[in-house]
Each structure stands twice: as C-alpha cells, then as structure tokens.
Amino acid sequence: MLGKTMRRIVASMGVLAAGTPALLGDEGMWLYTNPPLARLKERYGFEPGKEWLEHLQKSSVRFNSGGSGSFVSKDGLVMTNHHVAADALQKMGTPERNYYRDGFYAKTRGEERKCEAMELNVLESIEDVTARVEGAVKGDMKPDQAAKARRAVMNAIEDEETKKTGLRSNIVTLYQGGAYHLYRFKRYTDVRLVWAPEQQIAFFGGDPDNFEFPRYCLDAAFFRVYENDKPAEIKHFLKWSANGCADGELTFVSGHPGRTNRLATVAELEYTRDIGYPYLMQRLYRMEVLLNAFSARSEENARQAKELLFSVQNSRKARLGGLGGLMDPAVMARKRAEEAKLREAAEKDPKLADAKGAWDKVAEVYKTRAKILKRHGMLEGGAAFASDLFGIARTLVRSAQERDKPQAERLREFIDSNKQPLELQLFSEEPIYEGFEILRLADSLASLSEQLGHDDPLVVKVLAGKSPVDRAAELVNGSKLKDVATRKKLYEDGLPAVTASKDPMIELALLVDPESRELRKVMENEVEEPQRQAYAQIAKVKFALEGTSTYRDATFTLRLSYGPVKGYQEAGKKVAPITTVGGLYERSKGQNNKAPFDLPPLWAKKKDSINLDTPFNFVSTADIIGGNSGSPVVNKAGEVVGLIFDGNIQSLVLDFAYSDEQARAVSVCSQVITEALRKVYDASPLADELQGK
C-alpha cells in the first residue's frame, strides 16, 4: 500500500524537478484582499469584479468544528459536506436513532434539529495590522520578551475590535510571520440540521476509494442558521446553476483551507519527513486499531466511534500521501532550488542582509522542537489524555487561572474576545459516553507510560499506582463534569472553587498543568517566536523577488481558488472528469454490492426513478487542502455547480508543493444533489428552495 501510493505521487510530481516559476498553473489559495485578477484575465479571459468577489466572500461560511460551507438561500440555508456534519449527526444520535448512519430530513422548519456547540462564521472584513504587531517587538528583545510583547499587542487588538464592532475578531498570521491581518467575523450559534443522506452514500466506497477517482459520493448536508428563533435573513447567498458542472468550465472554490507548508524551509520539511510525520503516523495507526476493535464489539460502539474513526483514517491516509511527497527526490530538489535562489538574493542585496541567517535559525528551531516533541505532545498537546472530560477539566482550570490576569498577559484562548466561543463549547449538552471515554483515556495513558517511561516522576503521579485501564476508569467514573450545571458552577466560582475541587479530572488537570505550561513556554519562546522572526525575514526576500504574487500558505481562513473541470492521465489511461449516477450502480454491481460498495436500500429501491445520466462527482484543477471540505464550487456567474469534498491521491502532496498534472479537487455535482432530493429522498421542498422555485 505504502509503495503503491508513493509511486503514484512521485509520478504525478515528477514535472517539478525542472526549473519552475514562482507559481504553477492554477496554484494559489488567494486572499480576498488580493485576488489573482491579472492571472485570471491572462489565462482564462475572465476578471471578476469587486461586487462579484464581495458576494462570494459573504456567501461563504466557516464551520468552527472544521470545514467550510455556503449560504444557498435567503432563509439561512447552509450547504456543506456530510462529513463536516458528521459531528452534529453523531451528537444527535441515540442507541435507537443513528442519524449518522441513516440520515436525517426535516420536512418542516419546526422539525429542524438544533446542533450542540456549533458555530458558523462569515468573514465581514480584513485589515492589515502588521505594522502595529511588528512595532511592539523591539530589535533588542530576547525571544521570550518578543513573544510576550507580540502576544500582548495581538490580545489588545482582538479585544478592542471585538468590543468596538461586536464581531468575532481574530488576528491571522500570514507568510508564517511575514504579515498579520485582522479578520472580523459575524457569528451564528443557533444552527439547525435540515438534511443529510445515509453515511453509506455520502462515503460510498469507504476507505478503499478515499482519495481516489472516479468517485460516487453524495457527500452533502444542509443546515439553517437562526437569529432570534427565526431563520436568518441572508443578503448574500449563492444561486443554483440551471446547468450544473460541465467539462472544461472554469470554476471557483471559496473555502477555508486548513494549513499548507509550501513556504517551509528545507530544514522544516526534513524535520516533518524524518520526525514529525512518522511520530504522528504511529499515533494514528494506534488509534485506528483501537477504534476498529471497539467498533467491532457492538453496533452501539460503532455508532459512538464512527465519526472519530473516519477522521483518524482520513488523517492517516492524508499524512501517508504527504509523507510520500516528502520522500520524492523531485519535490525536495525543487524546494532546495527555490531556497538556494532566496539565499542567493539575501547574500547579494544589502537591503536583505538581515535575512542571511534566517534559514539556519529555522534549522536550529527544529532541533529544539525535536527534543521536546514527545513530552510537549503528550502533555500540552493532550495526547496522553484522550478524553473529552479531561479537555473540559483543563479548560476550567486554565480559565480560572487566566481570568484575573491583564488581557495582555493571558493565554490567547482566554482573552475576553474568545469568551463566547469558549463558553459555547464548555457548556455544550453533547453526550459523553463513559465506556468510550475510558477506552480512549486508558490507551493514551498507556502511551504516556511508553513514550516517557514508566518510572518518569510525572507518569508515576498521573497513574497513581494503578494500571492505565484502572486509572482511566477511576478518573472517568469519578468525575462529575459530565453535568453541565457542575461545569457552570466551577466556571463561575473561579480559582478558589477549582483548586478546592475533589473532582479527579480537575485534580489531574491541576497535577499536569505546571509542567505542561513550562513546555508551552519553551515552544512559544524557543520555537515559535524565533521561527516567526526567521520566516518574517524570509518573507521579505520573497516579496523582493516576487512582489504580491508570492504564495500565501493556508491558515483556515477564507481563500479563493480556481481551475477548470478537467480530467487527467493515469497509468496510460484517460480519467474522465465527471462520473454519473449510472456509474454508481455499475461500481456497486462490480463489487457484488458488498461493503463498502453496497447501496443504501433507498438507492436500490429508487434506481428506476433516477436519471442515470445525471452527473455525480467531478474533478478540477482548483488548489485545495484539508479544511476546504464543504466549500462551494461556482461558475463565472457565481452560481453553484458543485461542492468540494475530497482530493485525489495525487493531490495529497499539495500541502508541500503544487502540481496540476494529475492532482485534482473532487466535488459533488450540483445536479445530483437536486436529483437525489427529488427522486430518492422525497425532499422536493428543499430542492425548490435551492433552485429558487
């Protein structure tokens, strides 16, 4: 499996070995404040106007649970993926009703189900605050002083803007420290589920077909946002295309790509290849085995674990593809050539002299990161405490500790501007399953002992003379934090109540917090701050050579990508860009209708009612990455023609380097969504709302 995946990625990236321009093909996850107008006009003869861009920006939605979406009606209807909706579907489920597996449809607005702790954000405006942030950091400051000064000014800006505008205000770091932009978001916290299909049709083909193409997945879902207990009145929403997707058509993707590392130095990439990803892969493989074994014991276990298992499997396969790219000599050769060009420019230009040592500083930073990787990941990263209850306990402990500090000195997640999102999550009524908690916590405690050593002083204190299983059971069964009222009282009563609490999860969080905070300081002061300063210098070199066309790495904020619907060649064969509903039935028949290629009963029953020529999934050259899931795909008229849900296997290296030879974004066709709503799910009112009827 590993060898086959890597060979396919290497084959797709081979063109990168030669000298290449700063940007390739349709590369780019573009800021709305700096859209690629000249490139679009030159390549495609199309230049979107200011109103077109503003409309698409304000029609786009971010799911803070991870993922993207868009408004698709004036009454607050939001489109996204089934797998973005999976967390909400699972939380709503019970042993009697498995919405994740069986789907959901609210025939009336009164039946729309409110989602626990779900927040959607819409980007209202962006402001460059680089000068103010950088101005707070003086040249003679030590890294710890610089980190403190930077945190103070960022906390202050966010707090000021939130109070002034009432909008969620967050500073986003761009170019890994080269620029700082203030993003202002409108928040929606009354979000209700409208429709989701069966998991089997949303993820048809399961793990074997994940990141593959051709595909046949109806990976779609709809929510509705409410304000004052009424559907929100939305000015900016996307209209449904009458014709849908078509081969060769130029399309645009507006979404929230999570993170890319295309600006990373060779030293950082080597760390990721040799240390970071292998360590992460071990954790993912371990968790996957654990969840599969738990799921096999009962149908209810499988329901509880399904969403997390999907996430782990998806992450494992994505990292496998990324690792394959980093092992490709062609990819690394391109990165070395790009870095050599930048270093040469810094050496020759006196104005860039300060950047000459930046690459070596990054290399030193990653030596430090490697030293603390395991301990930091286990304690501050929470890998040793895989428990929702522990997460609640840590939030209560740190909130109480940070509350009375000046804004400038607080940890960033506890400043006043983040109070509402924090409380939304902390006081959620979502279910906590004790057996599932004990399983995950016991395994993570065992991993803590294995990674740090059974005789490590902190490990000894954490286990308290018990086995990981017995200790996990003691912690979970003894905690009262499952009760939201208990959480609220501890939160409101503050530090005296938290420190006096005898809740075992609170006691555990207090036990590990001192060392965890120290590790966080090391990461912030000796890794992140020096790295940020070094990358800021590297960014200046890139600006000097490439101007504003230089690439901006993804930051889980709104970006615009583009590219035509286009097939590709693989193993000497042409892969067509669009599949059809008929292909779904052929794929299932070819696999003898066995899992994960079995058809949901409703799809088998309704076959004769559906137009088998309806386009199902399509691929385009648009530049996407994780976090783009649920992004709308629109045509030049700004109309919905599709819904991003995946990339093909060759796209997994896009985290580090772009190519459009074989790498493709995979989308659900708009045509199959309305066809399925009308012909399979008896949901014509929803289809009418989408099509403006």
Q: For residue 478, is it within any domain? A: yes
Q: For residue 9, is it within any domain? A: no
- Cis preceding linkage at 214, omega within 30: yes
Q: Which amino acid is at 323?
A: L
Q: Which amino acid is at 520?
A: R
* Residue 619 pLDDT grade (very low, low, confident, very high; cuts 50, 70, 90): very high
Let me know whether 194 and 329 are in one domain.
no
Q: For residue 180, is it within any domain? A: yes
Let me know whether 159 and 253 are in one domain.
no
Using CA atoms, how far residue 602 sits from 582, 605, 642, 679, in Å, is 15, 5, 23, 10
CB 686 within 8 A of CB 645: no
- Cis preceding linkage at 596, omega within 30: yes
Q: Are strands 77-80 and 573-575 parallel, antiparallel or unpaired?
A: unpaired
- Is the pLDDT at 687 greater than 60? The verdict is yes
Q: For residue 150, is it within any domain? A: yes
- Is the pLDDT at 12 greater than 50? The verdict is no
- Mean pLDDT, the chain, integer: 94
Let me know whether 603 and 666 are in one domain.
yes
Instruction: Say which CATH number the domain at 206 has.
Output: 2.40.10.120
Let me know whether 431 and 536 are in one domain.
yes
- Is the pLDDT at 653 greater than 90? The verdict is no
Q: What is the pLDDT of residue 550?
A: 66
Let me know whether 345 and 465 are in one domain.
yes
Q: Which residues, at least 6 apart from 382, have a Cβ–Cβ distance to it below 8 Å? A: 390, 391, 394
Q: Which element (helix H / strand E) includes 295?
A: helix 277-295
Q: For residue 410, is it within any domain? A: yes
Let me know whether 277 and 232 are in one domain.
no
- Is the pLDDT at 7 greater than 80? The verdict is no
Q: For residue 338, is it within any domain? A: yes
Q: What is the pLDDT of residue 117?
A: 93
- Quote the domain boundaries for residue 209: 14-119+189-261+552-690
pLDDT tens for 373-423 read: 999 999 999 999 999 999 999 999 999 999 999 999 999 999 999 999 999
Q: What is the pLDDT of residue 622?
A: 97
Q: Which residues, at least 6 apart from 224, have a Cβ–Cβ distance to it below 8 Å? A: 75, 76, 77, 78, 109, 112, 191, 192, 194, 231, 232
pLDDT tens for 265-289 read: 999 999 999 999 999 999 999 999 9
**Domain-ending residue, one of 543, 577, 608:** 543
Q: For residue 2, is it within any domain? A: no
Q: What is the pLDDT of residue 551?
A: 63
Q: What is the pLDDT of residue 23?
A: 59
Let me know whether 206 and 218 are in one domain.
yes
Q: Which amino acid is at 126?
A: I
Query: What domain count does the chain have?
Result: 3
Let me know whether 375 and 459 are in one domain.
yes
Q: What is the pLDDT of residue 18?
A: 35
Q: For residue 637, is it within any domain? A: yes
* Residue 5 pLDDT grade (very low, low, confident, very high; cuts 50, 70, 90): very low
Let me know whether 195 and 183 are in one domain.
no
pLDDT tens for 412-470 read: 999 999 999 999 999 999 999 999 999 999 999 999 999 999 999 999 999 999 999 99
Give the residue from 632, 625, 565 showing the smallest Cα distance to 56.
632
- Is the pLDDT at 538 greater than 90? The verdict is yes
**Domain-ending residue, one of 543, 573, 607:** 543
Handedness of CA 299, 303, 305, 309 (dihedral sign): positive
Q: Which residues of 109-124 are buried (b: 16+ CB within 10 A; e: fewer)?
A: eeebbebbbbbbbbbe
pLDDT tens for 605-614 read: 999 999 999 9
**Domain-ending residue, one of 543, 576, 608:** 543
Let me know whether 449 and 468 are in one domain.
yes
Q: Which element (helix H / strand E) includes 122?
A: strand 120-128
- Is the pLDDT at 6 greater than 60? The verdict is no
pTM of the model: 0.92
pLDDT tens for 150-169 read: 999 999 999 999 999 999 99
pLDDT tens for 467-514 read: 999 999 999 999 999 999 999 999 999 999 999 999 999 999 999 999
Let me know whether 326 and 382 are in one domain.
yes
pLDDT tens for 63-109 read: 998 999 999 999 999 999 999 999 999 999 999 999 999 999 999 99
94 Cα distance to chain centroid:
27
SS3 288: helix
Let me know whether 194 and 173 are in one domain.
no
Pairwise CA distance, residues 565 & 577, whole Å: 7
CB 617 within 8 A of CB 676: no
Handedness of CA 299, 303, 304, 307 (dihedral sign): positive
580 Cα distance to chain centroid:
29
pLDDT tens for 160-194 read: 999 999 999 999 999 888 899 999 999 999 999 99
